Amino acid sequence: MTQPLGYYTADEVRLAEAELFTRVPDGVPMRRAAYGLATVVAAELRARSGGVAGRTVALLVGSGDNGGDALWAGVTLRRRGVAVTAVLLNPARAHTAGLAALRRAGGRVCADPVTAVAEIAGADLVIDGIVGISGRGPLRPDAARIVAEVDVPIIAADLPSGVDPDTGAVSGPAVRAAVTVTFGARKPVHALAADRCGRIELVPIGLRLPEPNLAALDPAAVGAAWPVPGAADDKYTQGVTGVQAGSATYPGAAVLCTGAAVAATSGMVRYAGTAASAVLARYPEVIAVADPADAGRVQSWVFGPGSGTDSGARDHLAEILATDLPVVVDADGLTLLASEPELVRGRRAPTVLTPHAGEFRRLTGAEPAPDRVAAVREFAESWQVTVLLKGRATLVAAPGRQVLINEAGGSWAATAGAGDVLSGVIGALLAAGRDPLPAAAAAARVHALAAGLAAQDTPGGAAAPVSATPLLRHIPAAIATLRALAA
């Protein structure tokens, strides 16, 4: 299987950089980073204006190595005929060698933040070299004022300044980049604050990196591992998913959750609940009964979407959790667990909880932000379950294991009922015998892709908001797309 895509914290990157500095001459890593940054900027200039020579680029230069990266990139761009102006936000601490080289190459330098906006007016692109992975907190006033006036695309060096490198948190003024050029390794910010980063370009600089504690599954690997029928399979061997969802008030939740389990694999789905007639009207292939006791043999359970929180629902959840089967708990099921966590704590069979931020708060008593990775890891360890924390960047954690992240690339799945669909897909993968951690992450990848495909499936091809029903309808297409990558 293809290796997961790793994300490394600032501390992990600094350790790798320290090791690199023992192997290469001083200045080599910065030159590699700067050359890669300049290459991306030149490509952007060509794409936007058809050429490189004669174009204008402004550098926003802070102190330290990130400012040095921007200055040395400016040197390379000057040699290719680009007019370069460097705005020094902290002149006394500007990178000495990079600044001298830019001046020798004919670059202009502005050390007055008051006139900086006028100096960069007319630039085709701006490079953000204000702060790097050591930066914390929002932009300082001078930098914030300048960034607020920029009306051309910004290319960020390593990360958008003002955004936390490890958590993606934004607590004040910050850069919003069209492209982020990261050096040596991807950082958590690139997934957790993808809307601030734009397109991510990785420039290798020779780092030797450990196994990441945060990673994203490779889409081709998701496709390759997706369960499909083999020559000896039948409907039972592929996994039988049990779904207990919906109610007289919310029959649609049952339809969405059950339909997702049907769409996700080729086995069998058994539904138990009060929405049996609504489910059968949409999916006659489902075996539907009113009483869970009559559901028959299943290999996983999904509980909670639209199920209600009355005593009857609580008893059904307790019965399901008392089995030795994998269980996915979502929505109303999570509300029940918030009141009675002992129902799931200590459970030995695989258990996946799928909260959004509000449900996470009810379950743990704390907000998942600002450090969502630490929060979801702590929750999984404390409750000894697999936790999928929903969001544009969905996180999946299991005790003692690497956290997996799925950056959706958009927020098309932020619609009522979409979580019901996700739960059904996860439940089907568990019934097929998949490990809960990668299964939940793979389901999130398919779910996000289905939402994107549904958004694009509109007259004229322009993306448009979608609801859960077209998202569900595009689950098979999303699976097919990922399987094609693995072919």
180-202 pLDDT per residue, tens: 999 999 999 999 999 999 999 99
391 is in an annotated binding site: yes
Q: What is the mean pLDDT of residues 424-428?
A: 98
- Give the helix/strand (H/E) hosting 450: helix 436-456
Domain over 5-212 is classified CATH 3.40.50.10260: yes
The CATH T-level fold of domain 219-486 is UDP-N-acetylmuramoyl-L-alanine:D-glutamate ligase (3.40.1190)
Query: What tokens does 410 get?
Result: 């958009």
CA distance 328 to 305: 10
Taking all residues of the chain, what is their mean pLDDT, rounded to a whole number? 96
Give the model confidence (pLDDT) of 67-125 as tens digits: 999 999 999 999 999 999 999 999 999 999 999 999 999 999 999 988 999 989 999 99
Q: What is the mean pLDDT of residues 35-49?
A: 97
Q: Half-sphere exposure of 66 toward its Cβ, with a 13 Å CA cutoff?
A: 25
365 close to 379: Cβ distance less than 8 angstroms: no
- Please choose, from the candidates 239, 265, 223, the residue with its C-alpha nearest in 3D space to the C-alpha of residue 480: 223
Q: What backbone phi and psi angles, to 5 degrees, belong to 18?
A: -60, -40
First to last CA, the chain: 13
Give the model confidence (pLDDT) of 428-446 as tens digits: 999 999 999 999 999 999 9
Which stretches does DSSP call E strand in 184-267?
199-203, 214-216, 240-244
Q: What is the pLDDT of residue 3?
A: 65
CA distance 255 to 22: 60
Q: What is the pLDDT of residue 49?
A: 87
- Asked whether residue 135 carries a pLDDT value surpassing 60, the answer given is yes
428 close to 482: Cβ distance less than 8 angstroms: no
- Give the helix/strand (H/E) hosting 7: strand 5-7
195 is in an annotated binding site: no
- Identify the three-state secondary structure at position 387: strand
User: What angle, rounded to 10 degrees, do the helices at 28-49 and 10-21 form?
Assistant: 120
306 is in an annotated binding site: yes
Cα 236 → chain centroid: 34
User: What angle, rounded to 10 degrees, do the helices at 436-456 and 418-431 form?
Assistant: 140
Q: What is the mean pLDDT of residues 5-30?
A: 96
478 close to 223: Cβ distance less than 8 angstroms: no
136 is in an annotated binding site: yes
Residue with tokens 């003002």: 162
Is 0.85 surpassed by the pTM of this model?
yes
419 is in an annotated binding site: yes
Query: What tokens does 24 get?
Result: 């290469």
Rg (CA), the chain: 26
Query: What tokens does 364 get?
Result: 């743990």
Residue 38 falls in which region: left (phi positive, over 0), alpha (psi -120 to 50) or beta: alpha
Cα 343 → chain centroid: 30
Confidence of residue 177 (pLDDT cuts 50, 70, 90): very high
Q: What is the mean pLDDT of residues 146-152?
A: 96
Count CB neighbours of 112 within 10 A: 11
Q: Kindly list the domain boundaries of the chain, sorted by start residue.
A: 5-212, 219-486
11 is in an annotated binding site: no
Exposure string over 233-243, b if 16+ CB within 10 A, otherwise e: eeeeebbbbbb
CA distance 447 to 408: 9
371 is in an annotated binding site: no
- Give the helix/strand (H/E) hosting 311: helix 311-321
Give the model confidence (pLDDT) of 330-353 as tens digits: 999 999 999 999 999 989 999 999
132 is in an annotated binding site: yes
- Asked whether residue 130 carries a pLDDT value surpassing 60, the answer given is yes
Query: What tokens does 414 get?
Result: 């932020």
65 is in an annotated binding site: yes
Question: How far are the Cα atoms of 379, 385, 478 from residue 353, in angstroms, in the given order?
Answer: 10, 7, 23
Question: How far are the Cα atoms of 32, 124, 309 from residue 62, in angstroms, in the given order?
Answer: 19, 20, 54
356 is in an annotated binding site: yes
67 is in an annotated binding site: yes
Query: What tokens does 413 get?
Result: 């799945």
What percent of the chain has pLDDT above 90?
Answer: 94
Confidence of residue 401 (pLDDT cuts 50, 70, 90): very high
CA distance 247 to 120: 61
98 is in an annotated binding site: no
429 close to 265: Cβ distance less than 8 angstroms: yes
390 is in an annotated binding site: yes
120 close to 151: Cβ distance less than 8 angstroms: no
Confidence of residue 458 (pLDDT cuts 50, 70, 90): confident
- Asked whether residue 1 carries a pLDDT value surpassing 50, the answer given is no
Residue with tokens 């091809």: 461
Alpha helices in 121-236 (DSSP H): 141-149, 189-192, 194-197, 219-225
∠89-92-98 over CA atoms, to 5°?
80
392 is in an annotated binding site: yes
253 is in an annotated binding site: yes
330 is in an annotated binding site: no
- Identify the three-state secondary structure at position 176: coil
CA distance 175 to 178: 10
Helix and strand numbers, DSSP H then E, in the chain: 19, 18
158 is in an annotated binding site: yes
Q: Half-sphere exposure of 6 toward its Cβ, with a 13 Å CA cutoff?
A: 15
